[in-house]
């Protein structure tokens, strides 16, 4: 049995005693913490396990003639694209809209077209979303802190 399943069986009776409104508040807080952790991983150019992503394929210049600089997925990690949803008894962090399709290709390392009528490219897997052991401990602390106020 994984640590997450043990945690769930231990916390389920405690969380069931919360009102639906309190469950929503807690799940929203947990989702926001998860989002912040995943945003920090993306900013550090690493997966949830701490392993660095494969660097961007070097092209000499982008379309505007400038050298491409900076970290990958700068806009993808913004609140506009990476949503934290807390509803009822679940906390969800997900990409929305067209961004979800782009994130899926990069997360799993799938083949996709670079441009609408362009060549296809096999992207390396760069895990964007996930939960590390440190984040699990942080979430547990947040749940216990929330429950201690009652």
13 occurs within a structural domain: no
105 in a structural domain: no
Residue 141 within any structural domain of the chain: yes
pLDDT score at 13: 84
- What secondary structure, in 3-state letters, does the chain show? CCHHHHHHHHHHHHHHCCCHHHHHHHHHHHHHHHHHHHHHHHHCCECCCCCECCCCCCCCCCCCCCCCCCCCCCCCCCCCCEEEEEECCEEEEEECCHHHHHHHHHHHCCEEECCCCCCEEECCCCCCCCCCHHHHHHHHHHHHHHHHCC
- Expressed as residue numbers, the domain containing 75 is 19-54+66-97+129-148
Estimate to the nearest angstrom the gap between the alpha carbon of 149 and the chain centroid.
28
Residue 25, domain member (yes or no): yes
Average pLDDT, stretch 70-82?
92
Whether 123 is covered by a domain: the verdict is no
* Domain annotation covers residue 117: no
Q: What is the pLDDT of residues 17-56, one digit of tens each?
A: 888 999 999 999 999 999 999 999 999 999 999 999 998 8
pTM (2 d.p.): 0.84
Q: What is the pLDDT of residues 80-134, one digit of tens each?
A: 999 999 988 889 999 999 999 999 999 999 999 988 888 899 999 999 999 998 9
User: Is 116 contained in some domain?
Assistant: no
> Is 80 a member of any domain?
yes
Could you give the number of structural domains in the chain?
1
What integer pLDDT is reported at residue 25 of this predicted model?
A: 92
């Amino acid at each position: 049995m994984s640590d997450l399943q043990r945690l769930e069986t231990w916390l389920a009776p405690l969380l069931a005693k919360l009102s639906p409104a309190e469950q929503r508040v807690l799940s929203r807080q947990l989702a926001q913490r998860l989002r912040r952790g995943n945003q920090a991983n993306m900013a550090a150019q690493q997966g949830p396990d701490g392993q660095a992503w494969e660097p961007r394929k070097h092209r000499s210049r982008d379309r505007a003639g400038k050298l491409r600089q900076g970290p990958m997925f700068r806009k993808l990690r913004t609140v506009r694209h990476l949503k934290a949803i807390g509803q009822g008894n679940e906390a969800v962090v997900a990409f929305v809209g067209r961004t979800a399709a782009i994130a899926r290709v990069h997360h799993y390392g799938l083949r996709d077209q670079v441009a609408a009528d362009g060549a296809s490219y096999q992207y390396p897997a760069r895990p964007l979303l996930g939960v590390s052991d440190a984040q699990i401990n942080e979430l547990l602390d947040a749940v216990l802190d929330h429950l201690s106020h009652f």
